[in-house]
């Protein structure tokens, strides 16, 4: 029955949890051993040790160890040293404890002809305790807690231990009989292990930290207590020499972690701090720690710094899911690693950006290296049922000709990478005279400051329509950059650079000022339309934001309710407590709070209860597919119902056809925006659109008008 439960869980999860699959195999091995044992005994046969049943029993322990390894495989490299050391201490301490309890069994083995059988009988409880020690050592070393699920596993193994000890003692005197209550004890232990698979199937990374944390010294402390108990007992009565030796060895080994643990943990912590958790590559900290030293010792020998960015990774990550995006990044890291020499350095900077340092690389050779990397990455990726193909853009800077400082080389490689993206050339070498699209003129600090100070930033507005009345209740403000050389730039082309240069607060101030200026113009014309501004994480975390908004609305004679602040779910993940404080202050003064791109991320929905939110904006990916996908339709309808049950308004983004508009109206959606009504347009075109709305009927008879062939796509300032 426990094995059946395990496989039922595997079936329900479609085999997506490898540790549960392995545990199900382990329970099956145990069930096979039990079946053989009972069958032979029922037929009147004598099952001697060892027997074929022991193959199944030993397989159970080996596979349970494997399930533990699979469960923590991503963290195993960082915890290997402490876990092995603690497991050895726990195992030797358990052996000393068992040597006392099973002394009659072991003594009989040394004096009789059944040495192998006795040792095997004593090995089973020892393997139980070894597995318990390993589980607790992993949980303590990883800094996490075992939770209720792991507690069931430990309890099941401890019950196994007791049953194995009793069996060994009974078997010594030929007193064990199949069908006694002892068999039920083994079944109970296996049932608890099966329950662990059920609990694990319902848990996730978000719930992994429930329960009480295990002290780091748990295994060595328990092993030391067991060893001391054995030695104290040896002073009171005769104890086998083996138990005394094992207890003494336990105390000696337990001293090692006390001496070296801090050093091991410091080294492990340092290594983990310099390692990207997802790919296992060195991270940004490792790059800035190691590469300057390599450049300094290069003695002027030419080398190259390559900044690699995956093309359209965001679309894959958002459209197929973050788990698919993570697997893609892991495979990219694996492919790149296989192409580099030992003296080269590959690091993941974050997101889909990688830095490759190629040593002893003359300037003419660098483009060939970039082409080789791009060719390797161009092959299709099998991402677990989904096959995708991606390309990469690579920017190259050359040492020492283009600089000897790492920050300067990275900045120039970044500029070259933008050139490669904009020209779709695949790779580009930094050039001081580059004035084409994506050049350093677009992304230097001076250019960004000029955009802020010389009125190069402008807003386009996309109206939000009340589906019940057909009225324009608000408009989303979307920033554009009228670049003097490159023309009109969309947000994707410059927002990241503003954030990297620390200019996002200044950009937010400019956008808020222009948006509120336009709201004041509409109010003066007796068209009270609120404006929605999407704010970045850095802006939401700014404690001065509420005072800034209050001053700006007061200066324009506007109520704070004229402003809607839009945030995305990733902002809430960054620092929810701080976000709650700022958002609560804004909400208290009358500013409305909306969650943009709702459903696009994968954060906990608890923020809907904890944060002061007025509106949810359902991501356009659901709206664009709802008429062709029953699941998307169900999600849209249920999300609207969820919003209303929480007292929130629901806005649908990306409405592009009348069929979807009609369906949203039928589902009770409150507001809608999209190309069907209007693309994002400049303020003067918005005013003309407001004055001449007619032609496109809204369900219920209210007139709307498509803005026609205006330019611009939906964007934001965050």
**SS3 of residue 204 by DSSP:** coil
β strands within 494-623, DSSP E: 530-534, 563-568, 592-598, 615-618
**Domain assignment present for 262:** yes
Same domain, 450 and 542: yes
Same domain, 247 and 99: yes
Domain stops at, among 250, 273, 296: 273
Query: Which of 32-41, 131-140, 241-250, 365-374 is predicted with the least confidence, judged by mean pLDDT?
Result: 131-140
Question: Quick one: CA dihedral 128, 129, 130, 135, positive or negative?
Answer: positive
Q: What percentage of residues in the chain have a pLDDT greater than 70?
A: 76
Question: Minimal CA–CA distance to 147: which of 197, 191, 86, 213?
Answer: 213
Confidence of residue 717 (pLDDT cuts 50, 70, 90): low
Domain that holds residue 559: 445-597+672-704
Same domain, 137 and 150: no
pLDDT at 440 over 60: no
Q: How far apart are CA 59 and CA 53, in angstroms?
A: 10
Same domain, 373 and 249: no
Same domain, 27 and 157: yes
The pLDDT value recorded for residue 216 is: 57
Same domain, 449 and 529: yes
Helices assigned H by DSSP within 569-614:
569-574, 576-589, 607-610
| Pairing of the two strands 392-399 and 457-466 | unpaired
Tell the residue number behind the tokens 């007139």, with chain if given.
Answer: 703
**Domain assignment present for 638:** no
The pLDDT value recorded for residue 707 is: 43
**Domain assignment present for 305:** yes
Residue 419 tokens, joined:
């050139």
Helix (H) or strand (E) holding 280: none
**520 CB neighbour count, 10 Å cutoff:** 17
pLDDT at 304 over 90: yes
Q: What backbone phi and psi angles, to 5 degrees, belong to 466?
A: -75, 115
Residue 363 tokens, joined:
């300037």
**Domain assignment present for 171:** no
**Domain assignment present for 361:** yes
**Domain assignment present for 714:** no
pLDDT at 602 over 80: no
The pLDDT value recorded for residue 307 is: 94
pLDDT at 16 over 60: yes
Residue 298 tokens, joined:
């290069």
Same domain, 518 and 416: no
Q: What percentage of residues in the chain have a pLDDT greater than 90?
A: 25
pLDDT at 636 over 80: yes
Query: Which of 145-149, 302-306, 335-339, 697-701 is predicted with the least confidence, judged by mean pLDDT?
Result: 697-701
The pLDDT value recorded for residue 193 is: 79
Query: DSSP label at 599?
Result: T
Same domain, 82 and 153: no
Q: How far apart are CA 248 and CA 226, in angstroms?
A: 11
**SS3 of residue 396 by DSSP:** strand
Question: Minimal CA–CA distance to 463: which of 444, 445, 477, 483?
Answer: 477
**Domain assignment present for 546:** yes
Split into its structural domains, the chain has a count of: 4
Same domain, 53 and 197: yes
The pLDDT value recorded for residue 208 is: 44
**SS3 of residue 211 by DSSP:** coil
Residue 245 tokens, joined:
């030796």
Same domain, 528 and 563: yes
The pLDDT value recorded for residue 309 is: 92
Query: Which of 7-16, 202-211, 276-285, 545-554 is predicted with the least confidence, judged by mean pLDDT?
Result: 202-211
Confidence of residue 710 (pLDDT cuts 50, 70, 90): very low
Q: Which residue has the higher pLDDT, 139 or 543?
A: 543
Q: How far apart are CA 90 and CA 17, in angstroms?
A: 28
- Rounded (10°) CA dihedral 104, 110, 115, 119: 50
Same domain, 426 and 523: no
Query: Which of 187-201, 409-423, 659-673 is predicted with the least confidence, judged by mean pLDDT?
Result: 187-201
Domain stops at, among 438, 468, 495: 438
pLDDT at 533 over 60: yes
Average pLDDT over residues 366-394: 88
CATH number, domain with residue 298: 3.30.70.270
Average pLDDT over residues 605-626: 85
Cβ neighbours of residue 323 closer than 8 Å, sequence gap 6 or more:
none
CA terminus-to-terminus distance, the chain = 54
pLDDT at 703 over 50: no
Mean pLDDT of the chain: 78
Confidence of residue 21 (pLDDT cuts 50, 70, 90): confident
**SS3 of residue 119 by DSSP:** helix
**Domain assignment present for 220:** yes
Note whether 63 and 23 are within 8 A (CB): yes
Same domain, 396 and 416: yes
Note whether 322 and 602 are within 8 A (CB): yes
The pLDDT value recorded for residue 469 is: 87
The pLDDT value recorded for residue 702 is: 43
Query: DSSP label at 215?
Result: P
Note whether 388 and 320 are within 8 A (CB): yes
| Digit-coded pLDDT (tens) for 195-239 | 877 777 665 443 444 444 556 566 677 777 877 887 887 777 777
Q: Does the global pTM surpass 0.75?
A: no
Q: Which residue has the higher pLDDT, 655 or 701?
A: 655
| Digit-coded pLDDT (tens) for 553-584 | 999 999 999 999 998 876 665 566 778 889 99
Q: How far apart are CA 59 and CA 57, in angstroms?
A: 5
């Amino acid at each position: 029955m426990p094995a059946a439960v395990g496989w039922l869980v595997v079936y329900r999860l479609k085999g997506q949890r490898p540790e549960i699959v392995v545990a199900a195999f382990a329970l099956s091995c145990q069930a096979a051993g039990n079946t053989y044992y009972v069958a032979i005994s029922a037929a009147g046969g004598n099952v001697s040790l060892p027997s074929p049943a022991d193959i199944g029993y030993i397989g159970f322990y080996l596979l349970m160890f494997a399930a533990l390894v699979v469960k923590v495989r991503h963290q195993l490299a960082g915890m290997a040293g402490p876990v092995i050391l603690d497991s050895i201490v726990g195992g030797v301490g358990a052996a000393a404890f068992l040597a006392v309890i099973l002394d009659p069994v072991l003594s009989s083995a040394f004096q009789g002809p059944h040495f192998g059988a006795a040792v095997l009988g004593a090995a089973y409880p020892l393997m139980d305790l070894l597995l318990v020690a390993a589980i607790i050592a992993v949980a303590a070393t990883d800094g996490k807690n075992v939770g209720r699920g792991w507690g069931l596993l430990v309890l099941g193994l401890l019950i196994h231990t007791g049953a194995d000890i009793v069996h060994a003692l009974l078997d010594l005197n030929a007193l064990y009989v199949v069908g006694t209550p002892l068999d039920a004890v083994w079944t109970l232990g296996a049932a608890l292990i099966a329950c662990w698979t059920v609990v694990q199937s319902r848990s996730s990374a978000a719930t992994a930290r429930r329960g009480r944390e295990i002290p780091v010294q748990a295994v060595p402390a328990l092993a030391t207590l067991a060893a001391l108990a054995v030695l104290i007992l040896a002073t009171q009565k005769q104890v086998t020499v083996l138990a005394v030796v094992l207890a003494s060895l336990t105390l000696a080994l337990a001293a090692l972690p006390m001496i070296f643990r801090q050093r091991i943990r410091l080294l492990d912590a340092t290594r983990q701090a310099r390692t990207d958790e997802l790919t296992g590559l060195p991270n940004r900290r490792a790059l800035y720690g190691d590469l300057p030293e390599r450049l300094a010792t290069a003695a002027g020998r030419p080398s190259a710094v390559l900044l690699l960015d995956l093309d359209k990774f965001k679309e894959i990550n958002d459209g197929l899911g973050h788990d698919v995006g993570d697997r893609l990044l892991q495979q990219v890291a694996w492919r790149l690693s296989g192409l580099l020499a030992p003296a080269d350095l590959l690091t993941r900077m974050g997101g889909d950006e990688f830095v490759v340092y190629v040593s002893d690389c003359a300037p003419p050779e660098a483009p060939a290296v970039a082409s080789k990397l791009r060719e390797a990455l161009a092959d299709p990726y099998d991402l677990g049922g989904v096959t995708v193909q991606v390309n990469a853009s690579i920017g190259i800077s050359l040492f020492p000709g283009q600089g000897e400082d790492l920050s300067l080389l990275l900045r120039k490689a970044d500029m070259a990478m933008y050139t490669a993206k904009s020209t779709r050339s695949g790779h580009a070498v930094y050039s001081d005279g580059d004035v084409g699209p994506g050049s350093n003129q677009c992304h230097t600090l001076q250019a960004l400051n000029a955009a802020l100070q010389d009125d190069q930033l402008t807003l386009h507005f996309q109206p939000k329509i009340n589906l019940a009345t057909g009225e324009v209740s608000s408009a989303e403000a979307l920033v554009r950059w009228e670049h003097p050389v490159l023309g009109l730039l969309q947000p994707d082309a410059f927002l990241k650079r503003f954030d990297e240069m620390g200019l996002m607060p200044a950009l937010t101030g400019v956008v808020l000022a222009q948006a509120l200026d336009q709201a004041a113009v509409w109010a003066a014309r007796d068209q009270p339309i609120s404006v929605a501004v999407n704010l970045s994480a850095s802006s939401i975390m700014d404690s001065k934001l509420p005072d800034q908004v209050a001053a700006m609305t007061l200066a324009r004679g506007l109520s704070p309710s004229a402003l809607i602040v839009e945030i995305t779910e990733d902002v809430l993940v960054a620092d929810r407590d701080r976000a709650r404080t700022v958002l609560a202050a804004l909400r208290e003064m009358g500013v409305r709070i909306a969650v943009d791109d709702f459903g696009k991320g994968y954060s906990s929905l608890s923020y809907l209860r904890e944060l002061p939110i007025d509106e949810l904006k359902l991501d356009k990916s659901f709206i664009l597919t709802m008429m062709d996908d029953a699941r998307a339709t169900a999600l849209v309808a249920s999300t609207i119902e969820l919003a209303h049950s929480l007292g929130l308004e629901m806005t649908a983004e990306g409405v592009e056809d009348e069929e979807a508009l009609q369906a949203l109206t039928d589902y009770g959606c409150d507001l809608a925006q999209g190309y069907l009504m209007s693309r994002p347009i400049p303020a003067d075109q918005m005013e003309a659109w407001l004055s001449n709305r007619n032609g496109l009927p809204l369900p219920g008879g209210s007139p709307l008008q498509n803005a026609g062939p205006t330019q611009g796509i939906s964007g934001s300032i965050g």
